[in-house]
Structure formats: structure tokens, C-alpha cells
């Protein structure tokens, strides 16, 4: 049992697990922001422009059950906004990561000494002819 707890502790305190936990917490908070943005800004704009009610529902028979199509559309809009924001963030991170690599690649590499010597020998042999 003690070995099991030690293994779990080593697993739980690894950097990847901690990073993932932080990502989940930030993602949940970001999800709340996107939901508020959609419900408080996007849905009223859609209602004003198209005159449609985004929070609509259809009653199924006389059972008191509803199909809440407006909630579904809101969830789809939330997903699209969140996916777009994540796309932009990843694009920015990739751009930052590539900036450092481009600087390294732009430096002209000096040819090895052997290549320089061989070039000089070739030039000297051409002059002899």
C-alpha cells in the first residue's frame, strides 16, 4: 500500500499532471466567460438583427416536456467562440515559437574547414591549368 501511495504521489506531482489541472481550471473559467458573452451580447444581437428568439423552446405534446432549441444554438455558438479563441491562442503561441527558430536559421552557417581547404585546392588546381 505504501508503494502504491508513493507511485500515486510521483504521478500526481509530475509537471504534466499539474499543467493539465491548471489548464482544466482556466478552461472552466474561460468557458463561463464565453457563456456570459454569448448570452449577454451575441444572443441579443441575433434577436435584434433577425428578430428571432434564441432562447426558444417547443413543447412536446401535453406532457410538459420541451425541446429547448435555443439552448442548443447557444451551446453551439459558445463552442464556436471558444474553438476560435483557442485557435487564435495556439496560432499566436506557434508564431512566438517559430520566431526563435527563424533567428537561428537565418544565421549563415560557416562551411567546415575541410570544405574551405578543398575549395582552395580546387581553385589552385584551376589556376595551374
Could you read off the pLDDT of 57-82 as tens digits, one per residue? Answer: 787 877 778 888 877 887 788 788 87
Q: How far apart are CA 34 and CA 36, in angstroms?
A: 5
Burial of 71 (0-12, 13-18, 19+ CB in 10 A): middle
Q: What is the pLDDT of residue 55?
A: 67
Question: What's the rounded mean pLDDT across residues 21-36?
Answer: 83
C-alpha cell at 27: 478552461
Classify the C-alpha dihedral 13-16-21-25 as positive or negative. Answer: positive
Q: What is the pLDDT of residue 52?
A: 55
Instruction: Please answer whether residues 41 and 28 qualify as being in contact, where contact means their C-beta atoms are separated by less than 8 angstroms.
Output: no
pTM, 2 dp: 0.48
Q: How far apart are CA 21 and CA 67, in angstroms?
A: 35
Domains of the chain (ranges, CATH numbers): 2-128 (1.10.1200.120)
Q: What is the pLDDT of residue 64?
A: 78
Amino acid at each position: 500500500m505504501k508503494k502504491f501511495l508513493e507511485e500515486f504521489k510521483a504521478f500526481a506531482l509530475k509537471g504534466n499532471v499539474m499543467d493539465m489541472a491548471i489548464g482544466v481550471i482556466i478552461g472552466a473559467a474561460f468557458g463561463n466567460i464565453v457563456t456570459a458573452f454569448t448570452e449577454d451580447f451575441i444572443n441579443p444581437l441575433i434577436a435584434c438583427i433577425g428578430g428571432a428568439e434564441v432562447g426558444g423552446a417547443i413543447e412536446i405534446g401535453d406532457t410538459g416536456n420541451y425541446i429547448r432549441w435555443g439552448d442548443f444554438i447557444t451551446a453551439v455558438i459558445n463552442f464556436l467562440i471558444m474553438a476560435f479563441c483557442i485557435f487564435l491562442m495556439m496560432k499566436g503561441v506557434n508564431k512566438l515559437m517559430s520566431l526563435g527558430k527563424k533567428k537561428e536559421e537565418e544565421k549563415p552557417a560557416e562551411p567546415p574547414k575541410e570544405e574551405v581547404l578543398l575549395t582552395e585546392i580546387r581553385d589552385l588546381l584551376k589556376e595551374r591549368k
